[in-house]
Amino acid sequence: MKDEKKATRQSYGEALLELGKENENVVVLDADLAEATKTGIFAKEFTNRFFDMGISEQDMISTAAGLSTCGKIPYASTFAVFAAGRAYDQIRNSVAYPNLNVKICATHSGITVGEDGATHQMLEDIALMRTMPNMKVMSTSDDTQTKWAVKEISKIKGPVYLRLSRLNTPIIYDENQKFEFGKAIQIGEGTDACIFATGVTVSEAIKAKEELEKQNINIRVVDFHTIKPIDKEIIIKNAKETKRLISIEDHNVIGGLGSAIAEVLTEKYPAKLERMGINDCFGKSGKAEELMKYFKIDKQAIINKILEKWKEWLYGKKEKNIYYSCSNMHNIAMFYWNIFFS
């Protein structure tokens, strides 16, 4: 993992420009936020293929749906809270239901939006989008992966929801990294535990992995850039190989990555999963890093969770019962000692 950092929204804008040069059918729509979503990078080069719809997210999605029926590949962008929230009806009925080729690329997701506060911190979008028929859902973790994803979804027929962030995060992968839609990436071979992560939490999980190795605790991290369709094979593989599973996400623990993994485990390979994320509440205003610490989705929170669960994982309930049995035997012994030798 490199020291260099970049927000995935910036990577999105840069990748759009390159894609626009490669494919003249790509058009971009925004809802008065081109500077923030970085679609303005595309707009400067392709003024006749960029449509600023104003503060009208529902209109933007409906227009994107119409453009897709004319052979265009529309990328519709705004903040996640407006894309998945305000325009939900249009996405459901005008895009997903007719299975149109629209790419919804939502920036400023999760609590890492920061100071904008709870009204702008979208914590339910993965849940909303992955329960929608025909919709595919992606959540990228770094610059390299995002640039791949932006181009990759242009080849996928049908609607895609791509979740992007505002926070500058470390560049994890080099340019030679191979990605495959629907296939998660395993980082490390540690068998003590497995951390399933997505988006901004992937780099936090990797940092936790590196710190824990200093304590002779060897874990692995699995990066889910695709949440729907979920990679069932890698979930089952890691459940069998580690048996100690944690998921972490900048999203409500209900309906997000953790829920998607739990559904697979319940049906295919029953195993206990500890879910880390936003515990069914709204966000708060503050700096992104401070909020990650407050909501316990940063590196230290992962380390604390691993250490907290360590004895339970090592010894289980059986060890606890043995402890209590030994304790009772000690008490009985002391009782008779006092009777006969006091």
* Half-sphere exposure in the Cβ direction for 91 (13 Å, CA): 29
Torsion sign (Cα): 38, 43, 49, 54: positive
Strand extents, DSSP E, the chain: 5-6, 26-30, 50-52, 73-79, 103-107, 136-139, 160-163, 169-170, 185-187, 193-197, 219-223, 226-228, 245-252, 273-278
**Residue 332, SS3 per DSSP:** helix
Tokens of 181: 């839609």
Which residue is catalytic, options 22, 24, 35, 57? 57
Residue 189 annotated among the catalytic residues of the structure: no
Tokens of 54: 């104003």
Q: What is the dihedral of CA 336, 340, 341, 342, to 10 degrees?
A: 90
Residues assigned a catalytic role: 57
